[in-house]
Structure 1
């Protein structure tokens, strides 16, 4: 964990919105972009955190949140397809690996 922000994971429990997270991590943002895409930004951030596979580090979290926000500054929810409803709207279908199996005789 960062020595500069040793208790940042404790602080996270107090954050409720995308605006709260962006402000906490000191990321400048356009309120209009966040208002339109707040759930998408947080979900993308969550996805990035899952992919990082590291213990929580302030600078890593800040970088991944900024990256998630930037995804929606230059794009939109339909194009980014964070949620499955948007993937289906673009014609992308997914099947969970657990649903694939051998056919029983």
Structure 2
């Protein structure tokens, strides 16, 4: 057993299999006992979960006992959450669509970017 952010014990038994069955971000935070600000989670939930997946892909859990796996998975969620609790999703750009349209990078030749507001302008007016 490990303790959650509020001091209650969390079940670490076969944690990876149990996490695979979860779908909502709140379920991951609850299962791992990680506290969060609902405002941060509402704005960045997909980014946090994507980043957690990126961090988990770097881990090797083979042969480790359940408490160690649970502690490492919990640490990845905390790390991913902190990434977006302090900076906006546009800062980290974890999704391809945000990476491809980074205003700090030069445009790819042959691919023009047309701002959406320019499409909404009536024809003949400039």
For the aligned pair, the TM-score class normalised by the smaller chain equals 0.7 to 0.9
Tell me if structure 2 keeps the 8 A contact 1:17–1:38. Answer: no
Matches within 5 A, 1:45-84: 45-55=52-62, 57-84=69-96
Residue 7 of structure 1: which of 5, 10, 14 is its match? 14
Q: Which runs of 5+ in 2 are unaligned?
A: 3-10, 108-126
Give the TM-score normalised by structure 1.
0.76
Equivalent-residue separation in structure 2 for 1:92 and 1:29 (angstroms): 36
1:92 Cα offset (Å): 7.7
* Superposed displacement of residue 54, structure 1: 3.1
Deviation of 1:22 after TM superposition, in Å, equals 0.9
Q: TM-score, normalised by structure 2?
A: 0.64
Larger radius of gyration: 2
Paired residue secondary structure (2:75) = helix
The structure 2 residue matched to 1:31, chosen from 35, 38, 42, is 38
Q: Which runs of 5+ in 1 are unaligned?
A: 94-105
What displacement does 1:27 show?
Answer: 0.6
Distance apart, 1:88 and its partner CA: 1.6
